Structure 1
Amino acid sequence: MTELVDLSVRGRTAVVTLQRQAKRNALTIELCDLIREAATTAVADGARSLVVTGEGTSFCSGADLDAVYGDAFRESLYGMLHALAALPVPVVAAVNGPAIGAGTQLAIACDVRVAAPGAAFAIPTAGNALAVDPWTIRRFALLAGNGAARAALLGLEKIDADRAHALGLADRLGTVDDAIAWAEQMAELAPLTLAYSKQVLNAVFEPEFEAATAAELTRSFEACWTSDDFAEGRAARLEKRKPQFKGL
């Protein structure tokens, strides 16, 4: 499709492959937009299941930290994540290696995950004063469990493939080929039933927040991105030093 994303078709299954191997498939605005375009185009063209994976040894190392410091990146990232989650076909994440930060977000935006031996999941935002949105935290906790989510978000614990499988964060252990084979099986099932099942699961387990709660959570989320600590995290990265956070 482009140098950054490859879209291939295996019968009724489309495979979207991130191809930014030199940056361990780190996400930029352009890459997020291309993933969304590839996925929606594939479904519009008749794909009945979708696989998302990364080229090389990394699934997605997260957001490209040279590109995340602005509203445009967040709009592109969350637009892509929610588009994947809302697709009417099964979406399988073939987690072929580390899925860190926004990489974990990409993996959990898919319906199911197949984790290779080198796969790992982490959301280390507390280490650089970034933040993920409430949807991400709720979805991660629903999949991995509240305790594992707290350990990952508050203690920066990384979850390897075996533990992810034991927790239910990864549905199967296997390779990209295993993930594609599973997606091909799904593509042979009844499309309307699959779309209905996804719709119910999303409505029951991830309903809209009440207005007051949503507003409060949004304020807290935005406060992280406009804080002095956020600026300190960016400065520390550029200066290659440990950040000194003050809670301001």
Structure 2
Amino acid sequence: MLGTTRDGSVSLIELRRPERRNALDLAQCRDLHEAAAAEVEAGARVIVITGEGTSFCSGADLTGVYGDEFLHALYGMLHSFTRLPVPLIAAVNGPAIGAGTQLALACDLRVADATAKFAVPTARNGMAVDAWTMRALAAVAGGGMARRLMLAAETIDREEALRCGLADRAGDLDAALAWAQEIATLAPLTLAHNKLVLNRLVATDQDPDIEASFAACWASDDVREAALARTEKRTPVFRGR
């Protein structure tokens, strides 16, 4: 149900349930969780997630989403993506509905093709999403758009998504992969620190994790490599240490 390929430091994870428009079931949530962690362990510096066929992800598979086991797997997967120390890019090809929009939100950046659509229509089916989803949506797309999606159950297309910030770039999978290759050349420790700070939706004055990642950047070989590269007039080669 998933396909995984690697090209250097970039890994591509593809949802492969086109007959269900890549709807998420229990097994797929667990597989996504495990696959993304495995790619980071294998050395991926950026992960791209997309869907096979004409849909990114049509939401939760409504044939069996009502149990606590599914909800635990879904939110465990989504929240784990926000904690991974590498950037994730959603290559949104077609509809990202409900859990599909949540999956795109759990990624750090979103590249949307011409057919991309976003919606969280819980008000149409009596379901609910967690507070993280709504806070993340408001942080990324703004409070007004979050209210339109959550309270009016609207669907927005790529152009609106680009205007409000829910989509970062227009483009297809190739464009997302090319962007991932560019990002993969940046300093890994810095990216991990920046992601950690950006994903802390509730800020505190003192956060030991953030303080530690900040210090690690300044103490790293990579910061010295960047200084040396400047003097040698070349592109730095970052090793994440």
Fold-level similarity (TM above 0.5): yes
| One-letter amino acid matched to 1:179 | A
Unaligned runs of 5+ in 1: 210-248
Superposition deviation, residue 208 in structure 1:
7.6
Question: Residue 165 of structure 1: SS of its match in structure 2?
Answer: helix
Runs of 4+ more than 4 Å apart: none
Determine the C-alpha separation between the residues in 2 that align with 1:183 and 1:37.
21
| One-letter amino acid matched to 2:11 | A
Superposition deviation, residue 142 in structure 1:
1.0
Determine the C-alpha separation between the residues in 2 that align with 1:129 and 1:168.
27
Task: Determine what percentage of the aligned residue pairs are the same residue.
Answer: 55
Superposition deviation, residue 144 in structure 1:
1.2
Question: Residue 58 of structure 2: SS of its match in structure 1?
Answer: coil
Work out whether 1:175 is the aligned partner of 2:172. Answer: yes
Pick aligned residue for 1:46 from 43, 47, 50: 43
TM-score for both structures, normalised by structure 1 = 0.81
Unaligned runs of 5+ in 2: 205-241
Question: Residue 140 of structure 1: SS of its match in structure 2?
Answer: helix
Work out whether 1:88 is the aligned partner of 2:85. Answer: yes
Please name the residue that 1:166 is paired with: 163
| One-letter amino acid matched to 1:145 | G
Please name the residue that 1:128 is paired with: 125
Please name the residue that 2:66 is paired with: 69
Question: Residue 50 of structure 1: SS of its match in structure 2?
Answer: strand
| One-letter amino acid matched to 2:64 | A
| One-letter amino acid matched to 2:30 | D
Cα RMSD after superposing both structures: 1.1
Please name the residue that 2:230 is paired with: none
TM-score for both structures, normalised by structure 2 = 0.83
Determine the C-alpha separation between the residues in 2 that align with 1:168 and 1:62.
21
Aligned length: 204
Please name the residue that 1:239 is paired with: none
Work out whether 1:198 is the aligned partner of 2:198. Answer: no
Per-residue CA distance 1:116-140 (angstroms, 9 max, x = gap): 0000000000111000000000001
| One-letter amino acid matched to 2:132 | W
Pick aligned residue for 2:99 from 102, 105, 121: 102
Per-residue CA distance 1:131-184 (angstroms, 9 max, x = gap): 000000000111111111111111111010011001111000000110011011
